Amino acid sequence: MFEELKQLLQIVFRALLSNKTRSFLTMLGIVIGVGAVVLIMSLGAGAQSLILGQLDSFGTDLVGILPGASDEKGPPASVFGIVPTSLKQSDIEALKDKSNVPNLKYIVSYYDINLPVSWKDNNYDTTIKGTSGDFLEVENTEVVKGRFFSSSEMSSALKLAVIGQTVVDEVFIQSNPIGQRMKIDNQTVEVIGVLEEKGKAGFSDPNDQILVPLEFAQKILAGVNYLSSAFVRVDQTNNIDYAISDIKMTLRERHDVNNPEEDDFSVRAFKDALELVTTITNSIKYFLAAMAALSLIVGGVGIMNIMLVSVTERTREIGLRKAIGAKNNHIRLQFLFESIVLTLIGGIIGLLIGIFFAWLVSVVVQSLGYDWAFVISFSSFAIAIGLSTVIGVIFGFYPANRASKLDPIEALRYE
């Protein structure tokens, strides 16, 4: 058995090597198809790790509060361009009361606005975050230069700012920003601190922000009295559901909402966001991989076409082999093995090319400051070996079967 298999492989490789260019062009479709699938799955896994890593860095004990109603499993209202005004700072003060939300440990509120900033001749557009509450504790960050707002400063409309590292690089460049006065829109503010640098996530940069006292952002910069969002850190992860229930109950009482379906706010746990994002990114990843796998069908058709040409060209060879005792099964296996070997080699080459480009992308993205993981899963190897073999069998069977049924006498007469 082993000796027959060895002889069969020798015949197969001799046939493939006799026309190297055609063999290479034949397997090229498989190379591209497998390479694309491996690359897309790796990029999908890398993007997923980037997004989930950023969400997970906030912790599973975090709860987000947003103005405006939304479906529990859908996006917030702000995604659709709506600007809800239902969440106020007075609501946040009520949530701080332990009798309302006993499991609340820290809470911070925000009002976000995009405005131009300038210092000397340098101009820059960034996000201004008016903030009040336990920012450092909720965001798990610290000030690396200067200081943060005091409690009295944060509850005032003082023109002070704490900035991210990207703002330092873009606006102040080589200068020490502490004590400098810069303009936000037409207001002059003093920089008192710089936040520690964090890794980038997706298309957002957590270092590209300027923090100012909440009242300054609301009353002076924007002229509003509502919040963009608030975040709560719970005392224990196990108490998140209790905290969410207490937050909803408190806000409903304050907003005179009797029916939960009429809520004018949204309360989400970050652990739920992790599960939702995981489901969405997995669906996108496998959908794109399936689309890329369609190219394997094109490659398989190419394999079948060339194998049919090969059968025609080698008709006399088939007749001669049958004349000296080769059975139909031997001929069928010979051409089927040729098809499988072609697709298998193409799959392995595609796997290596896909891995190389996935690694190259990870290096480039990491050099841009993003926390991108280079991930090659076992399924990538299964696709390269298994799917390539299946394609070889499916698209090689018809030519192989056709070759096995040739009449030896007619085949020997073929010119």
- Comparing CA positions, the residue from 396, 288, 268, 295 lying closest to residue 344 is 396
pTM here?
0.61
For residue 183, give every residue at least 6 positions away whose Cβ sits within 8 Å of its Cβ, in sequence order, or none: 117, 118, 119, 189
pLDDT at 413: 54
pLDDT at 73: 55
Checking if the pLDDT of 397 tops 80, the result is no
Residue 304 lies in a domain: yes
pLDDT at 52: 65
pLDDT at 274: 66
Residue 401 lies in a domain: yes
pLDDT at 275: 67
The pLDDT confidence band at residue 408, using thresholds 50, 70 and 90, is: low
pLDDT per residue as tens digits for the range 169-186: 999 988 899 999 999 988
Are 162 and 245 members of one domain? yes
Domain boundary among 263, 286, 311: 263
Q: From CA 91, how far away is CA 267, in angstroms rounded?
A: 13
Alpha helices per DSSP H over 368-387: 378-382
| Percent of the residues in the chain that have a pLDDT greater than 70, as a whole number | 77
Residue with tokens 């799959």: 347
Checking if the pLDDT of 138 tops 60, the result is yes
pLDDT at 236: 85
The pLDDT confidence band at residue 308, using thresholds 50, 70 and 90, is: confident
The pLDDT confidence band at residue 379, using thresholds 50, 70 and 90, is: confident
The pLDDT confidence band at residue 315, using thresholds 50, 70 and 90, is: low
Are 127 and 225 members of one domain? yes
The pLDDT confidence band at residue 37, using thresholds 50, 70 and 90, is: confident
Q: If you average pLDDT over residues 359-363, what whole number do you get?
A: 87
pLDDT at 254: 92
191: left (phi over 0), alpha (psi -120 to 50) or beta: beta
Are 391 and 281 members of one domain? yes
Alpha helices per DSSP H over 18-146: 20-58, 89-96, 135-139
Are 332 and 392 members of one domain? yes
pLDDT per residue as tens digits for the range 72-83: 555 555 555 566
Weakest-pLDDT range from 95-99, 149-153, 403-407? 403-407
Residue 80 lies in a domain: no
Q: Is 229 helix (H, G, I), strand (E, B) or coil?
A: strand
Checking if the pLDDT of 358 tops 80, the result is yes
The pLDDT confidence band at residue 127, using thresholds 50, 70 and 90, is: very high
Bridge-based pairing state of the strands 62-67 and 181-184: unpaired
pLDDT at 277: 67
More confident residue, 183 or 279: 183
Q: If you average pLDDT over residues 12-34, what whole number do you get?
A: 73
The number of folded domains in the chain is: 2
Weakest-pLDDT range from 89-103, 221-235, 359-373, 397-411? 397-411
Q: If you average pLDDT over residues 350-371, what whole number do you get?
A: 84
Residue 387: give the domain boundaries. Answer: 2-55+276-413
Are 344 and 402 members of one domain? yes
Are 338 and 233 members of one domain? no
Are 258 and 307 members of one domain? no
Ranges 19-23, 80-84, 162-166, 299-303, most confident: 162-166
Average pLDDT of the chain to the nearest whole number: 80
Checking if the pLDDT of 137 tops 80, the result is yes
Residue 65 lies in a domain: no
The pLDDT confidence band at residue 140, using thresholds 50, 70 and 90, is: confident
Are 192 and 331 members of one domain? no
More confident residue, 412 or 86: 86
More confident residue, 214 or 15: 214
Domain boundary among 238, 263, 288: 263
The pLDDT confidence band at residue 17, using thresholds 50, 70 and 90, is: low
Cβ 167 vs Cβ 124: under 8 Å: yes
For residue 255, give every residue at least 6 positions away whose Cβ sits within 8 Å of its Cβ, in sequence order, or none: 86, 264, 265
pLDDT at 302: 76
pLDDT at 167: 93
Domain boundary among 234, 263, 292: 263
Q: From CA 137, how far away is CA 108, in angstroms rounded?
A: 9
Are 31 and 116 members of one domain? no
Q: If you average pLDDT over residues 224-246, what whole number do you get?
A: 89
Are 178 and 220 members of one domain? yes
Residue 77 lies in a domain: no
Are 114 and 240 members of one domain? yes
Q: If you average pLDDT over residues 62-77, what whole number do you get?
A: 72
For residue 83, give every residue at least 6 positions away whose Cβ sits within 8 Å of its Cβ, in sequence order, or none: none
Residue 216 lies in a domain: yes
Residue 69 lies in a domain: no
State the burial class of residue 188 (Cβ atoms within 10 Å of its Cβ: 0-12, 13-18, 19+).
exposed
pLDDT at 249: 93
Are 248 and 112 members of one domain? yes
The amino acid at 11: I
Residue 270 lies in a domain: no
pLDDT per residue as tens digits for the range 197-207: 886 655 567 88
